């Protein structure tokens, strides 16, 4: 079972630590995009957290179920208006099964990188495929690793530098792991948070999707369908479960 770093302290302050994530300009395009893929079917969110996306998606009329490892994050979700309409299961989204078949499974905000081994990330794709109806879609929103910013010999990349928040990551290119560090400063006090991530390129995710019986349908630089280019810092990728895929297993190749 992966280690969960979203403890009570972080869960209670999630929204105040990352207020920009809750801006309507950020949430609404994501909800719009996901609602269109869910259609009249149900949606499954991996790493549902405090319901930043699940709650507005549910308000749009989509039946949403979420999986999360952190009981502290689930507690925050449960306290929000409309939470009674969102089903939640506590567990690891790489392996936890929930009942029902879904048109859409999704994993936003770089959360695929919380799985710190390739095997776990592959399992996550298999778990998504196991829950999808044929033709259903798995969506991931994640950053493109920033290795081009690292000159030889340098391992640290700062991604947020403001008087109130310093965030940087330490890359280990040998293990494909990055440890992110956050320092929030307020009233002369510092609060810190560090976590290990397995960064992953879109092409490797495509291969994981194939192993799980899914193929790439769309890739954008953002929820508003901005074109994905070599300079894009992030991507929203959509893989479709092929109609031939067996539940939970890869498509087998025909022997000629
Ligand atoms: C960055 S937060 C994103 C929460 C929410 N999706 C959002 O967009 O605000 C990542 C969430 O994934 C959960 N998480 C991380 N690894 C997990 C795992 N292996 N299984 C289930 N949940 C996990 C954390 O507990 C946390 O709630």
CA of 223 to the centre of ligand 1 (A): 19
Residue 52 CA: nearest ligand 1 atom is: 9
Are residues 111 and 231 both part of a single domain? yes
Alpha helices in 196-253 (DSSP H): 202-211
pLDDT of residue 120: 98
pTM across the whole model: 0.93
Residue at 255 is within a domain: no
Closest CA to ligand 1's atom 13: 47
For residue 241 and ligand 1, the question of a CB distance below 6 A is answered with no
Tell the residue number behind the tokens 């990349």, with chain if given.
157
Q: Which residue owns the Cα nearest ligand 1 atom 18?
A: 92
The answer to whether residues 132 and 188 belong to one domain is: no
Q: For 167, list phi and psi in degrees, rounded to 5.
A: -130, 130
Same domain, 224 and 100: yes
Contact 178, 197 (CB under 8 A): yes
- With a CB cutoff of 8 Å and minimum separation 6, the contacts of 177 are 116, 171, 196, 197, 198, 199
Instruction: Note the pLDDT of residue 251.
Output: 46
1 belongs to a structural domain? no
Query: Which residue matches tokens 């949606």?
Result: 43
Q: What does the longest C-alpha to C-alpha distance in the chain come to?
A: 70
Residues 16 and 102 in one domain: yes
> Is residue 251, in this structure, part of any structural domain at all?
no
Range of the domain at 124: 8-145+201-241
CA dihedral 30, 116, 124, 105 (to 10 degrees): -10
134 lies in a domain? yes
Closest alpha carbon to 128 in 245, 231, 35, 18: 245
Do 44 and 126 have their domain in common? Answer: yes
Tell me: do 124 and 213 sit in the same domain: yes
**Atom number in ligand 1 closest to CA 73:** 27
Phi, psi dihedral angles at 164 (to 5 degrees): -105, -15
In the reported structure, the alpha carbon of residue 181 is separated from the centroid of ligand 1 by a whole-number distance in angstroms of 17
For the record, the structure tokens of 62 come out as 């989509």
pLDDT at position 255: 44
- State whether 67 and 108 are in the same domain: yes
Q: 140 and 156: one domain?
A: no
- Are 211 and 188 part of one and the same domain? no
154 lies in some domain: yes
Q: How many CB atoms lie within 10 A of CB 202?
A: 17
CATH of the domain at 218: 3.40.50.150
Q: Verify that 100 and 69 share a domain, yes or no.
A: yes
pLDDT at 252: 45
Number of domains comprising the chain = 2
Would residue 41 count as lying in a domain? yes
Q: What is the pLDDT of residue 243?
A: 72
Other beta carbons within 10 Å of 231: 8
pLDDT at 253: 44
Centroid of ligand 1 to alpha carbon of 253 (angstroms) = 34
Number of helices followed by number of strands (H, E) in the chain: 6, 11
Q: Could you report the per-residue pLDDT of 147-199, keeping only the tens digit for each?
A: 888 888 899 999 999 999 999 999 999 999 999 999 999 888 999 999 999 99
CA distance 159 to 188: 22
Q: Are both 105 and 187 inside the same structural domain?
A: no
Q: Which of 137, 159, 194 is the last residue of a domain?
A: 194
Q: Is the CB of 34 under 6 A from ligand 1?
A: no
In a domain, 75, yes or no: yes
Mutation pick for ligand 1 pocket among 111, 131, 143 (CB with most ligand atoms within 8 Å):
111
Asked if residue 132 is part of any domain, the answer here is yes
Are residues 35 and 152 located together in one domain of the fold? no
49 lines ligand 1 (CB under 6 A): yes
Please compute Rg for the chain using Cα positions. Answer: 18
- Residue 56 CB–ligand 1 contact under 6 Å: no
Listed as ranges, residues in the chain with pLDDT below 50 are 245, 248-256
């Amino acid at each position: 079972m992966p280690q969960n770093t979203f403890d009570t302290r972080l869960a209670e302050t999630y929204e105040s630590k990352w207020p920009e994530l809750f801006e309507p300009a950020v949430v609404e395009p994501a909800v719009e995009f996901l609602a269109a893929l869910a259609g009249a079917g149900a949606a499954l969110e991996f790493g549902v957290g405090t319901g930043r996306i699940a709650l507005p998606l549910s308000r749009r009329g989509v039946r949403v179920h979420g999986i999360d490892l952190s009981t502290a994050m689930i507690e925050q979700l449960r306290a929000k208006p409309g939470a009674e309409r969102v089903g939640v299961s506590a567990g690891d989204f790489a392996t936890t099964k929930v009942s029902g078949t879904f048109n859409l499974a999704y994993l936003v905000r770089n959360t695929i990188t919380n799985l710190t081994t390739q095997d776990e990330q592959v399992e996550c794709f298999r778990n998504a495929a196991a829950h999808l109806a044929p033709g259903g879609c798995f969506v991931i929103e994640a950053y493109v690793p920033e290795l081009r910013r690292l000159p030889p010999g340098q391992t640290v990349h700062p991604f947020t530098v403001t008087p109130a928040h310093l965030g940087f990551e330490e890359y280990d290119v040998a293990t494909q792991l990055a440890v992110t560090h956050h320092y929030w400063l307020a009233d002369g006090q510092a609060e810190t948070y560090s976590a290990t991530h397995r960064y992953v390129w879109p092409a490797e995710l495509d291969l994981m999707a194939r192993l799980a019986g899914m193929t790439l349908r769309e890739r954008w630089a953002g929820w508003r369908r901005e074109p994905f280019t070599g300079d894009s810092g992030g991507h929203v990728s959509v893989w479709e479960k092929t109609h031939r895929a067996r539940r939970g297993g890869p498509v087998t190749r025909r022997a000629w």
